[in-house]
Amino acid sequence: MWNKVQETVSYLKEKTNASPEFGVILGSGLGSFTKDMEIEFTIPYGDIPNFPVSTVLGHKGALVFGKVGSKNVVAMQGRFHFYEGYDMQTVTFPIRVMKYLGINQLIVSNAAGCVNPNYKVGDVMLIKDHINLFPEHPLRGKNDDRFGPRFVNMSEPYSKNLRNKAKELAVLNGIDLKEGIYLGLQGPTFETLAEYKMVKILGADCVGMSTVPEVIVARHMNLDCLGLSVVTDMGDEDSIEEVNHQEVLEAAKKAEPVVRKLIKEFILSF
């Protein structure tokens, strides 16, 4: 893994000479954040050594380098999922690469189902904590101490300082920002009603098929993380029959301007 990360980082630095401070992962239907960037380089995943290729509708599949104000940013237009058939090391490989390109903060976004009756479709949730129910762990196997410690402290996977900053910015910009817990499941099936009930019983507000492995690996390398979920469907008896991937993408698109503004203002605040 170490050699592959170094090879990929060397290739990207040679291509871009970039030293990004912020890494951004853009989830389903949220790829237009790059319009808020002064884009310097766009490199398709297929051109990057050791990178997998995103196979999911709504994920463009490119690494975008540029600026937001004076801040250097690298954004993933589309992520990789365990349900696509990739192992966890492959799913989280880009996080390793972004770390060694120079980022010190990771912003992750996703589309999520919701079980909190106080939320509605289109709401944005700041992730306070997560529950990991993936059947595989991205740190399983021999630990490479060059990346981080064998046993990672996960008492604060999503930085409290970054969350407080995001909440302040939401108030200043008139954004109704919820705050709650995200539960990660393998997918790719949407949850059954019984599974949604399980998510609620376990104490989560939203559920999805990403983010958790990425944040675990980010914390392994001591990166501070900020997580945002867009509520794209409700896990209740009235709406569960209606959900499909196209509707998820459409709901995410409607909420995208809010997410874009929050991420942009967040980066500019540093």
User: Hey, is 67 helix, strand or coil?
Assistant: strand
In the predicted model, what is the mean pLDDT of residues 243-263? 83
Average pLDDT over residues 261-270: 96
Question: What average pLDDT does range 33-48 have in this prediction?
Answer: 94
Residue 57 has pLDDT above 60, yes or no: no
Is the model more confident about 240 or about 59? 240
Model's pTM, two decimal places?
0.94
CATH code of the domain containing 110 = 3.40.50.1580
What domain range includes position 123? 2-268
pLDDT at 53 > cutoff 90: no
Average pLDDT taken over every residue of the chain: 93
CB neighbourhood size of 11 (10 A): 17
Q: What is the largest CA-CA distance in the chain?
A: 53
Pick the closest to residue 28 from 165, 162, 188 (CA basis): 188
Two structure tokens written together for 36: 């808020």
Distance (Å, whole) CA 251 – CA 230: 8
Average pLDDT of the residues in 4-31: 92
Parallel, antiparallel, or unpaired: how do β-strands 71-77 and 206-208 relate?
unpaired
Instruction: Give residue 87's pLDDT.
Output: 95
pLDDT at 246 over 90: no
Closest to 85 measured CA to CA, from 45, 50, 136, 49? 136
Structural domains of the chain, count: 1
Q: Using one digit for the tens of pLDDT, what is the confidence trace for 21-32?
A: 999 999 866 778
